[in-house]
């Protein structure tokens, strides 16, 4: 049976049921809603935050060939595979006349992280790819402009090639923290909806003709605003693939959109922004092999803005057997440190003989 398209055009015949995740019903028309709300580019709501929240990226791990940065919101990471387009990016920096990192930090607008890399490391003898348009300034993968967390960059041509191959062959364990609307009922779950991209509107949507995508979530806890009624769930999400907006779309497709997501949860984004000023999505942990084939695990601490948002919440225990009106009791404040959470997460189980899968060594390493 063919999977009906979600987010574009009318639904197909009722004889073809909607696809189901391993824990619940099929996806909602998320992509369509995002396009109807005009969700392309950086929103005005998000853009207003960057003058206050754009923090200099920080190296949190490095060796001779690879560096892992902690990226905050307001940094654009999308990079082209075409050298000519990357040359245009480099030329834009010259045209603007920017000569110092501080000018990028204080611009009040989203800035491309390649401009930061150029200004910061152009004279570094260790970071040989800082100005290399052919090697995409060393940037090995992407993060959304309003997503924070760990970003991997190749310092040398060998490091960049190693990372690019690792991402292509699913050899990197990518683990995120996100806060979503509603009480996610299953402790763990797997979402396998294929994802397509709409270039015209800068949004993704679930569709039969899309690329295979897999997200594995584990619920960390349930929370609510202090004195409020609406329930939120804090989740760890491991992604096996890296489709654009994958976590945002997958979680929204099972009825639990991310907090302050102005693309796939437009109707709640303005209200969310009153206590969470930007998308609650953070690349929390990476697992990978370095060029010497040693296993490395890097954790990116939660950024200050998301920590402050968590402090407005209180943890609750829900009796989810009462589906329509679950009973709850307050447990305490929401956590802002997650190193101790390692023991609370079971290993992600996601081997599938019919699809690419994360290597067994990373599955065992991912708590």
DSSP string, 102-163: HHHHTSSS-EEHHHHHHHHHTT-SS-TTTT-TTTGGGB-S---TT-EEEEEEESSHHHHHHH
Mean pLDDT of the chain: 81
198 a catalytic residue: no
Q: Extract the tokens encoding 152.
A: 């991997």
User: Given this model, what pLDDT does residue 326 score?
Assistant: 52
User: Given this model, what pLDDT does residue 54 score?
Assistant: 83
Question: 335 or 303: whose pLDDT is higher?
Answer: 303
End-to-end Cα, the chain, rounded Å: 35
Phi, psi of 237 (to 5 degrees): -130, 125
Q: Decide if pLDDT at 274 tops 90.
A: yes
Check 144, 146, 192, 272 and give the catalytic one: 144
Which among 242, 240, 237 is positioned nearest to 252, based on CA atoms?
A: 237
CA-CA-CA-CA torsion sign (336, 340, 343, 349): positive
Which among 231, 200, 263 is positioned nearest to 45, based on CA atoms?
A: 263
Q: If you average pLDDT over residues 269-296, what whole number do you get?
A: 95
Q: Decide if pLDDT at 352 tops 50.
A: no
Quick check: 224 and 230 in contact, CB under 8 A?
yes
């Amino acid at each position: 049976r063919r999977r009906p398209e979600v987010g574009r055009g009318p639904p197909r015949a009722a004889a073809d049921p909607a696809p189901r995740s391993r824990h619940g019903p099929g996806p909602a028309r998320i992509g369509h809603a995002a396009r109807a709300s005009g969700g392309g580019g950086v929103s005005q709501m998000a853009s207003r935050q960057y003058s206050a929240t754009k923090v200099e990226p920080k190296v949190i791990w490095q060796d001779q060939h690879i560096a892992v940065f902690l990226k905050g919101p307001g940094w654009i990471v999308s990079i082209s595979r075409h050298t000519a387009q990357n040359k245009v990016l480099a030329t834009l920096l010259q045209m603007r006349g920017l000569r110092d990192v501080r000018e990028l930090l204080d611009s009040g607008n989203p800035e491309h992280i390649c401009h930061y890399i150029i200004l910061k490391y152009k004279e570094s003898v260790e970071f040989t790819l800082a100005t290399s348009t052919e090697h995409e300034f060393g940037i090995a993968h992407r993060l959304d402009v309003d997503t924070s967390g760990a970003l991997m960059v190749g310092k040398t041509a060998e490091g960049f090639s190693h990372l690019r191959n690792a991402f292509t062959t699913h050899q990197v364990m990518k683990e995120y923290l996100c806060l979503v609307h509603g009480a996610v009922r299953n402790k763990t779950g797997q979402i396998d909806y294929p994802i397509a991209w709409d270039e015209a509107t800068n949004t993704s949507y679930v569709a039969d003709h899309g690329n295979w995508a897999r997200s594995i979530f584990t619920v960390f806890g349930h929370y609510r605003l202090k004195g409020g009624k609406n329930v939120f769930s804090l989740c760890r999400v491991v992604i096996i693939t890296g489709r654009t907006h994958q976590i945002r779309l997958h979680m929204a497709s099972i009825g639990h959109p991310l907090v302050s997501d102005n693309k796939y949860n437009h109707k709640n984004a303005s209200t969310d922004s009153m206590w969470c000023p930007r998308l609650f999505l953070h690349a929390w942990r990476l697992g990978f092999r370095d060029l010497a084939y040693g296993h490395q695990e890097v954790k990116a601490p939660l950024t200050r803005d998301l920590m402050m948002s968590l402090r407005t919440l209180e943890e609750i225990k829900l009796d989810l057997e009462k589906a329509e009106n679950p009973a709850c009791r307050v447990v305490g404040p929401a956590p802002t440190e997650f190193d101790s959470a390692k023991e609370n997460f079971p290993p992600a189980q996601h081997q599938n003989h019919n699809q690419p899968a994360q290597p067994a060594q990373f599955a065992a390493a991912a708590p």
